[in-house]
Amino acid sequence: MNKYLLTLCFALCSLVASAQQIPADTTSEHEIHEAIDYSSKERMKAEMAAEQAKIDSLSKLVTPEQAARIDSIVAMRLRLARKRIESVPAIDSLAVLDTLPSGDDAVQVVLFANSTWKYVRNRAVAKDSTIFEKYWDTEKLFPYKDIEYSSLPKSLVIDLVDSTNGYHTPYKPSPIRSRYGPRRGRAHQGVDLALKTGEPIYATFSGRVRISQYNRGGYGNLVVIRHDNGLETYYGHLSERMVEPNQWVEAGQVIGLGGSTGRSTGPHLHFETRYYGQSFDPERLIDFKSGTLCRETFLLKRSYFSIYSRASQDFEDEIANEEQDKKEQAEREAMRYHKIRSGDTLGAIARKYGTTVGNICRLNGIKSTTILRIGRTLRVR
Ligand SMILES: [Zn+2]
């Protein structure tokens, strides 16, 4: 890496040097030769000095350890690259026949009734992790009170899937009804996916159920799962919860049924992704429309926790947002346009659409005296 950088430097220096022009105010041939001689000598001196300076600064900058680090950054880029990861087959808890040991103590084999099988982590062995012990509270939604936002790492590499940890879309592939983030000054801490009451909701990754309770803050029937990498996923408004606190779950396991419990205007899944209680946009991980995971490894940046630090979702805000959305949608649907033809007058157009000249002028920002250009489209409602 070191050598490569130096070669690149030399190449760049000579390229820059050869592009420099000789002074334009030299007249005679002799003077030109002298000028070239002089300027090329000066240039060479300057080049050598510049190259030496570069070498000095590079040898100061790139130690062998740093060169190795640069290599590992390249490898990390590859790990973080976008990929499409499909859902693993869904797991119906009733269909599990048996769990057997594998050659590796940390891994077990689960046999299903349909003669398929898969590897899972042996939770009895994999107990060295403090993920499921520290800040483990099955009652309190946000048990991270003593963790300051500023004490979280600026960025963190999080492995989402590996050979024993799959992914499953939280609900079947579906478009987002309401996205994450601030809208009209109101915050939305998750994404909303419209559904029919009773449709299955799946654990996105494997992990342990921290919360399974009816939440009075507006989430209604809520399941929170903490995953092996420390991320937590929230599933709100469920009609039924099918898991208990402290239960281990696998990706694709049905954890509840979709519904409209809590503060909700209609059946939908309110889905959140959080790290130490801080929410970030679930679309950074999941393409909900195709139901696929976007990457195997995720670089979680502190700056992603943009909206109000560790705040719970305010469902009054969510409902106000939805109502405003519906109003705007109805307005869009009610809009009508008229393409101006020869002989049209504002009065005739207004009569045709049962409106007034004043209304048409207001909707289009024109005056009643504006000349109507043929082919122009006017909004009439
Ligand atoms: Zn929501």
Q: What is the mean pLDDT of residues 258-273?
A: 95
pLDDT of residue 131: 87
217 CA distance to ligand 1 middle (Å): 13
The model carries a pTM of 0.66
The pLDDT of residue 308: 54
pLDDT, tens digit (0-9, with 9 covering 90-100), for 357-376: 999 999 999 998 888 889 99
At residue 283, does pLDDT exceed 70?
yes
What integer pLDDT is reported at residue 285 of this predicted model?
A: 95
Tell me, what's the pLDDT at 84? 87
Centroid of ligand 1 to alpha carbon of 256 (angstroms)? 17
Q: Would the pLDDT of 233 be above 90?
A: yes
CA 324 / ligand 1 centre spacing (Å):
14
pLDDT in tens, 83-98: 888 888 887 655 677 7
How far does the centroid of ligand 1 lie from the alpha carbon of residue 238, in Å? 12
Report which of 193, 183, 201 is spatially closest to residue 266, judged by C-alpha positions: 193
Residue 283 Cα, ligand 1 centroid: separation in angstroms? Answer: 13
pLDDT for 169:
97
Does residue 4 surpass a pLDDT of 50? no
Ligand 1 centroid distance, CA of 195 (Å): 13
Q: Ligand 1 centre from 178 Cα, in Å?
A: 7
Residue 168 CA, ligand 1 centroid: distance in Å: 20
Q: What is the 191 CA–ligand 1 centroid distance (Å)? A: 5
Q: What is the arithmetic mean of pLDDT over 146-153?
A: 78
pLDDT reading at 59 higher than 60? no
Q: How far is the CA of 249 from the centre of ligand 1 (A)?
A: 24
pLDDT score, position 1: 43
Identify the band that residue 20 occupies on the pLDDT scale cut at 50, 70 and 90.
very low
Q: What is the 221 CA–ligand 1 centroid distance (Å)?
A: 13
pLDDT digits (tens, 9 = 90+) for 102-140: 777 778 887 877 778 877 777 666 555 688 988 999 999
Task: Compute the distance from residue 144 Cα to the ligand 1 centre, in Å.
Answer: 22
Say yes or no to pLDDT of 234 above 90: yes
Distance from the alpha carbon of residue 179 to the mean position of ligand 1, in angstroms: 8
pLDDT band at 22 (very low <50, low <70, confident <90, very high): very low
Q: What topology is assigned to 132-319 in CATH?
A: Glucose Permease (Domain IIA) (2.70.70)
CATH class of the region 335-379: alpha beta
Residue 204 Cα, ligand 1 centroid: separation in angstroms?
Answer: 17
* Overall average pLDDT of the 262-284 stretch: 94
Q: Give me the chain's average pLDDT, please.
A: 82
Which tens digits make up the pLDDT trace of 287-322?
Answer: 999 999 999 999 998 888 865 555 677 787 778 878
Could you write out the three-class secondary structure of the chain?
CHHHHHHHHHHHHHHHHHCCCCCCCCCCHHHHHHHHHHHHHHHHHHHHHHHHHHHHHHHHHCCHHHHHHHHHHHHHHHHHCCCCECCCCCECHHHEEEEEECCCCCEEEEEECCCCEEEEECCCCCCCCCCCCCCCCCCCCCCCCCCCHHHCCCEEEEECCCCCCCCCCCCCCCCCCECCCCECCECCCCEEEECCCCCEEECCCCEEEEEEEEECCCCEEEEEEEECCCEEEEEEEECEECCCCCCEECCCEEEEECCCCCCCCCCEEEEEEEECCEEECHHHCEECCCCEECCCEEEEEHHHCCCCCCCCCCHHHHHHHHHHHHHHHHHHHHCCEEECCCCCCHHHHHHHCCCCHHHHHHHHCCCCCCCCCCCCEEECC
pLDDT in tens, 188-210: 899 999 999 999 999 999 999 99
Q: Write out the residues surrounding ion ligand 1, Cβ under 5 A.
A: 192, 270, 318
- Residue 9 clears pLDDT 60, i.e. is over it: no
pLDDT for position 46: 82
Percent of residues, the chain, with pLDDT higher than 70: 82
